[in-house]
Structure 1
């Protein structure tokens, strides 16, 4: 591209226990790789849901997850063990997306379907608990009194535990990549979900999410949470993003409160 595509699609929603702002921008990518979904009141108890999905090769996987992940979570009600619910929902998405491929026996069809990274955040227990599930490198970061706390981990092939799994499954890591991917977990990319007779947790590319939980209340408590694709994290560290967002929130307090999506837009503009 000769110039970054800065057109944005933004949204603000408010639930019983939180305000959520989202924005997406294509930037320097050849196509819009990212998709997201926000539900401020997912169940009768006021649970909030945010999902961020970053596709590669084709936008199909990210769009599919954005359209369906939250529904699969609700299918697993009662939502008592959120970690288990999220794990099973990610497995559902990986299996269901495979079913969208017209000819899954054709290697070219499988390749062109691509895949995506995914991070899902649930705010539950009347806004006091955050549960995060992720595969790949869409990162979730919380701010506690201005200090960044990463609530997800970037799954890169050269991480010791990820490399160990890949090599145990017969794969290899070269220049930090698993074949042509720079992530070691994701939805789709079935050509790398091998050996097929192994459980997802042991395949070269795993769809099994890493689950983390955090308490919102405390000393210090969580002020806000940022979830973004690698388009942000390749340009800004977790602490830099927290500093940016926190500064904008403080500025907006004197103007009657923030329009959160506007802060998202300004953050993205700072990355191109």
Structure 2
């Protein structure tokens, strides 16, 4: 791993031997034109990780480089980069929000990233320990027949390294967001929810409440951006944090996560749908209604009962997430996260069989016995999500589809144990 990291640093230094010049185009585009200081954290990390991933950086190294660069950025006086207040911005009843110009502040961040990379290339630091748990992610997403792609996802096995968290166990974060009415809310959640989660004091002692506060805070942050920029989108979301032997899942809306243990699906959550009896009662108690317009909808509009954004229908469309926690016993195969574009066409009980079939199809047909099991997990597991997406589309889904599988043990082991057990039945 150290050799791979050193090799990347050498390539990066060759491409960026000095700071980016004022006025030169940025090598990667910022997500926004203007950001608050709080939004700067998530947007800078997203920008840096995107830049490094496009150049083949090892994920662990990317996380450490971006954290170091962000830390240096926040030590600077950023007041010269504040946006001038425009006429009509100020309202007496609300405090003025200080906005930063994204391009110059992200140029400064990227220059800090280049500085850190140059320094590490000359004096390579002590490498961090490798994660103790096997985690391999297979993800695939398609626009399908929809006019726009409004799904977003994030796989962050290096959660601790990115945020400098010292904990008893490794933390890994995975999330799928399904936007509607535009992609803005989904993009915002994919950029900021994990940052908000990392700042929760109860993250290690009470992950459920930390997750719920992080969702709530992200929704509040997006409310400010939506008001400033006149955005109207919303997004469901499901996020998983694997923290040592503990798996926590938090969700808003009808995106879902399921756990598969020794070939059997384990229910982790109950998705929020308008016709779910407790959701229907909650909405009616608030004075709203559930009506059927092609599908069950809140006040005849949104087909989800909880989501980030959708501020024109708050509090009927709630921003309060639910969370559940499961202890990992060591015999788990994988956790699957997907949007409703997948689960509208595939029942959770079908997932283990579909994944096993996809794993078998991923094995080189010319390999037999031990040779087949010796293929790398990258080769065997990478195409599994793609095959699940194709199955959902063939089964009739016309929506955006995103599927993410986080393997908790090597795919070859799943083939060897689960596959054998099913043959014996």
Q: TM-score, normalised by structure 2?
A: 0.54
Match runs of 1:235-254 below 5 Å = 235-249=345-359, 252=363, 254=373
Q: Residue in 2 aligned with 1:268?
A: 389
Q: Residue in 2 aligned with 1:147?
A: 264
8 Å CA contact 2:202–2:210 kept in 1: the answer is no
Secondary structure in 1 aligned to 2:221? helix
Secondary structure in 2 aligned to 1:270? helix
Q: Residue in 1 aligned with 2:334?
A: 224
Of 169, 173, 181 in structure 1, the residue corresponding to residue 302 of structure 2 is 181
Q: How far apart, CA to CA, are the structure 1 residues paired with 2:158 and 2:275?
A: 38
Q: What root-mean-square deviation, in Å, do the aligned CA atoms of Structure 1 and Structure 2 show?
A: 2.2
CA displacement, residues 154-189 of structure 1 (integer Å, 9 cap, x when unaligned): 211111100110000000001121122121111000
Q: Residue in 2 aligned with 1:59?
A: 183
8 Å CA contact 2:175–2:190 kept in 1: the answer is yes
Q: Residue in 1 aligned with 2:321?
A: 209
8 Å CA contact 2:136–2:377 kept in 1: the answer is no
Q: How far apart, CA to CA, are the structure 1 residues paired with 2:170 and 2:282?
A: 38
8 Å CA contact 1:13–1:21 kept in 2: the answer is no
Secondary structure in 1 aligned to 2:337? strand
1:151 CA drift (Å)? 1.4
1:247 CA drift (Å)? 3.2
Answering whether residue 157 of structure 2 is matched by residue 40 of structure 1, we say yes
Of 122, 125, 138 in structure 1, the residue corresponding to residue 241 of structure 2 is 122
Which runs of 5 or more residues in structure 2 are unaligned?
Answer: 1-55, 61-129, 161-165, 364-371, 394-425
Aligned residues: 243
Q: Which has the higher contact order (CA 8 A, sep 6+)?
A: 1
Match runs of 1:8-87 below 5 Å = 16=131, 17=133, 18-43=135-160, 44=166, 45-77=169-201, 79-80=203-204, 81-87=206-212
Q: How far apart, CA to CA, are the structure 1 residues paired with 2:227 and 2:303?
A: 26
Secondary structure in 2 aligned to 1:24? strand
Q: How far apart, CA to CA, are the structure 2 residues paired with 1:255 and 1:77?
A: 43
Evaluate the alpha carbon distance shift between residue 207 and residue 186 of structure 1 in structure 2; reply closer, same or farther with a 3 A threshold: same
Structure with the largest fraction of strand: 1
Answering whether residue 280 of structure 2 is matched by residue 156 of structure 1, we say no
Evaluate the alpha carbon distance shift between residue 13 and residue 28 of structure 1 in structure 2; reply closer, same or farther with a 3 A threshold: farther
Q: Which range moves more in the overlay, 72-81 or 46-55?
A: 72-81
Structure with the largest fraction of helix: 2
Q: How far apart, CA to CA, are the structure 1 residues paired with 2:335 and 2:59?
A: 15
Of 157, 169, 183 in structure 1, the residue corresponding to residue 286 of structure 2 is 169
Q: Which range moves more in the overlay, 228-237 or 254-263?
A: 254-263
1:192 CA drift (Å)? 0.9
CA displacement, residues 20-41 of structure 1 (integer Å, 9 cap, x when unaligned): 2222111122101100111102
Q: TM-score, normalised by structure 1?
A: 0.83
Q: Which range moves more in the overlay, 72-81 or 237-246?
A: 72-81
Q: How far apart, CA to CA, are the structure 2 residues paired with 1:152 and 1:13?
A: 30
Q: How far apart, CA to CA, are the structure 1 residues paired with 2:213 and 2:373?
A: 44
Secondary structure in 2 aligned to 1:73? helix
